[in-house]
Amino acid sequence: MRTSLLGSLNILLRRRPRALDLEKGVVELGLRPNNDGQGRPPIRMRLEDVANDVLIMIFSYLDVRDVVALRQVNKFFHDISHHSIIWKRFLRQSDVPIPPLPPTSRHSLPHLSGLEAERLLLRSVSLQRTWTSRDPSYIDSWAFNANYTVFSMATVPGGQYLIASVGNCIGNGERFTDYSLVIYAMDHPHGGGHAIARTRTHTKAYHLKARYTTIRGRHSIAIAYVRRDWGRRSERENPNPSVDVSEFSGDHEIDPPTPIKYECVALEVPLECLELLSDPRLTPGTPEWKAHANAQPKPFRYLAIIRTRSQLMYPDIDELFGKPYLAVLKRPNSIVFQNLEGGAASTLFCQIPNLPNQPLVCRPFVTQLSK
């Protein structure tokens, strides 16, 4: 650390440093001798006397440990060490994988704050060390109140947002009658996870899928899920139906006692809306935040709904031919594709091969070792 710091001082101050006391923040500078051969005594100066712009440039040439060590000297160094220039330079020169950020100008490198850039880099380094460790273990854990019963979850790259399929019991009953999708901001400045958007799904949503994408020029999160519904209108409108379609497993084929239909729903949530709802100046859940949220456009927008009486499973969202597409498995042997920017759906039928039924023959594998 001292070599790099002294070298930076030598370049920027045009002096030859001779000593550095980080605990006191003092630099001893030796000046060239006079013409008569008599050298002047070294000058002791405090780093606080150096211009802030020069100090920030010096700090940016150090490594992370040096900056953290200088941060512990005093409040002045603590404040300087949080400057965004320092940590953005670390990010550019980092040799560890950096997790992706939401594809908006707000989360681009030029617009990141010093705290955001520092947090991103330190988390990346921590993840890399844990991932490559022979005995990985988590350093810390935290929990937050989701305010609902969570059935399944999906995250977008970087972990900025978490999408959860949740349920809630209305009244004193033990039966879930209120199913929703909830988006949580997982990296809010006020700490913890906070619910910032919610939309009802009528029945339990399962097989969640979420990813960043661009829809009609808007940077968004596209969400897809599957849900079951009653096949008969009389049962859908009955407040106490004889069969609860939300209780069936989403991973197995079922033989329901009543007609059932399936829906694969694709939703769009513009990232601009989520950034407004996760305003760092407001704490989600407070009256001020609720008034702010009610003044914003509704975040959820329907993109596509695929309805069928055949079982739908495992939706996926990706780009085909430069457009965002939804693909969902339709049992027994077809895949439905839907352009999320509009247009008719297409179905790919997968031919089931007629393979001969051959018995499985197991032969023991013996290895003989020579003496």
Kindly report, residue by residue over 215-243, the tens digit of the pLDDT.
Answer: 998 889 999 999 999 888 888 878 778 78
The answer to whether the CB of 47 falls within 8 A of the CB of 56 is: no
Residues 220 and 342 in one domain: yes
Residues 32 and 156 in one domain: no
Of 13-22, 30-39, 52-61, 277-286, where does the model show the most confidence?
Answer: 277-286
* 43 assigned to some structural domain: yes
- Give the span between the Cα atoms of 69 and 64, in whole angstroms: 9
- Give the span between the Cα atoms of 8 and 3, in whole angstroms: 9
Residues 191 and 337 in one domain: yes
pLDDT score, position 252: 75
Q: Is the pLDDT of residue 15 over 60?
A: no
* 370 assigned to some structural domain: no
* 362 assigned to some structural domain: no
Q: Is the pLDDT of residue 70 over 90?
A: no
| Helix ranges restricted to H, the chain | 2-13, 52-60, 64-71, 75-80, 84-93, 114-132, 233-236, 271-277, 287-294
- Give the span between the Cα atoms of 117 and 139, in whole angstroms: 21
Structure tokens given for 49 = 């006397």
Q: Domains in the chain: how many in total?
A: 2
Please report, as a single letter, which amino acid is at residue 96: V
Residues 27 and 103 in one domain: yes
Residues 255 and 303 in one domain: yes
* 326 assigned to some structural domain: yes
pLDDT score, position 124: 81
Residues 8 and 65 in one domain: yes
Residue with more model confidence, 11 or 47 = 47
pLDDT score, position 4: 46
Q: What is the mean pLDDT of residues 93-111?
A: 72
User: What are the Cα distances from residue 77, in Å, to 49, 63, 188, 225, 348?
Assistant: 12, 15, 26, 50, 62
* 289 assigned to some structural domain: yes
**Residue 299: cis peptide before it, omega within 30 degrees of 0:** no
Residues 168 and 295 in one domain: yes
- Per-chain mean pLDDT for the chain: 78
Of 9-18, 117-126, 334-343, where does the model show the most confidence?
Answer: 334-343
Residues 102 and 161 in one domain: no
pLDDT score, position 172: 60
* 137 assigned to some structural domain: no
| Coil vs helix vs strand at 189 | coil
Residues 127 and 157 in one domain: no
The gap from C-alpha 363 to its chain's centroid, in whole angstroms, comes to 48
* 294 assigned to some structural domain: yes
Q: How many helices (H) and strands (E) does the chain have?
A: 9, 15
Residues 164 and 18 in one domain: no
Instruction: Name the pLDDT band for 72 (thresholds 50, 70, 90).
Output: confident
Percent of the chain with pLDDT over 70: 77
Instruction: Name the pLDDT band for 186 (thresholds 50, 70, 90).
Output: confident
φ, ψ at 18 (rounded to 5°): -120, -25
Q: What is the mean pLDDT of residues 102-110?
A: 67
Domain that holds residue 340: 149-349
pLDDT score, position 258: 82
* 359 assigned to some structural domain: no
Residues 258 and 312 in one domain: yes
* Tens of pLDDT, residues 304-317: 999 999 999 999 99
Residues 207 and 291 in one domain: yes
| Site of tokens 């906070």 | 194
- Give the span between the Cα atoms of 365 and 15, in whole angstroms: 75
| Site of tokens 């100066």 | 45
Q: What is the mean pLDDT of residues 47-58?
A: 74
